[in-house]
Chain A
Amino acid sequence: QSALTQPPSASGSPGQSVTISCTGTSNDVGGYNYVSWYQQHPGKAPKLMIYEVSQRPSGVPDRFSGSKSGNTASLTVSGLQAEDEADYYCSSYADSNILFGGGTKLTVL
């Protein structure tokens, strides 16, 4: 099983919106509604931001939203803030296994 495909980088100015994609196959992203997104700041552990495609854990700002169409999931960050600058990883359940994307470095300009 291959890793999920994410763009290596994304950027936006404060207040703008940015969308990060995560492409898999019908055996993972497209086959299950178990896509999650994690935020990781340098030197820190990842933090769950979105689970089950579009659900936000308690405490995660509603500026973060998730969606899925076919084999591609997306994370949208609206109203970008400086503290959103981080690495973002998608993950999907895949037939008893778990796959991660390669990560996207989000830069707030």
Chain B
Amino acid sequence: QVQLQESGPGLVKPSQTLSLTCTVSGASISSGSYYWSWIRQPPGKGLEWIGYIYSSGSSNYSPSLRSRVIISVDTSRNQFSLRLSSVTPADTAVYYCASVYTSMVHWGQGALVAVSS
């Protein structure tokens, strides 16, 4: 079955760039079966969609984060990545990666990223 695993630093300083990678197993990113998405959840709050990317590299981002987000894909490593620039403490959250068909079908376990000096 499809499994996803987030990885990256758990602590980022304000104004710096948050970087996370999602490694996919059980499916090939390049197969075109899914879009690949990032979602986040601040502590004690709800889910927020960040954006998604297709195997071709075409992507779309939440309007509220578009100016600071880049999602990229590395089909050779079966991974996709998130970069969020100019972070503030408000970006502290659990970040999830997920496979998307018409819904978020498979989810990673999540990675907590804290923004603090």
Residues of A within 8 A of B (CB): 1, 3, 34, 36, 38, 45-48, 51-52, 57, 89, 91, 93, 96-103
Residue contact B46 to A3, C-beta cutoff 8 Å: yes
Residues of B within 8 A of A (CB): 37, 39, 46-49, 52, 60, 62-63, 96, 100-105, 107-110
Residue contact A36 to B102, C-beta cutoff 8 Å: yes
User: With contacts A36-B102, A93-B102, A96-B60 known, is A47 near B46, CB below 8 A?
Assistant: no
Residue contact B102 to A52, C-beta cutoff 8 Å: yes
Task: Please report the number of residue pairs spanning A and B whose Cβ atoms sit closer than 8 angstroms.
Answer: 55
User: With contacts A97-B63, A100-B49 known, is A91 near B110, CB below 8 A?
Assistant: no
Q: Which residues of B contact A102 (CB under 8 A)?
A: 46
Residue contact A34 to B103, C-beta cutoff 8 Å: yes
Residue contact A46 to B107, C-beta cutoff 8 Å: yes
Q: Which residues of B contact A96 (CB under 8 A)?
A: 60
A46–B105 Cα distance when bound, in Å, is 10
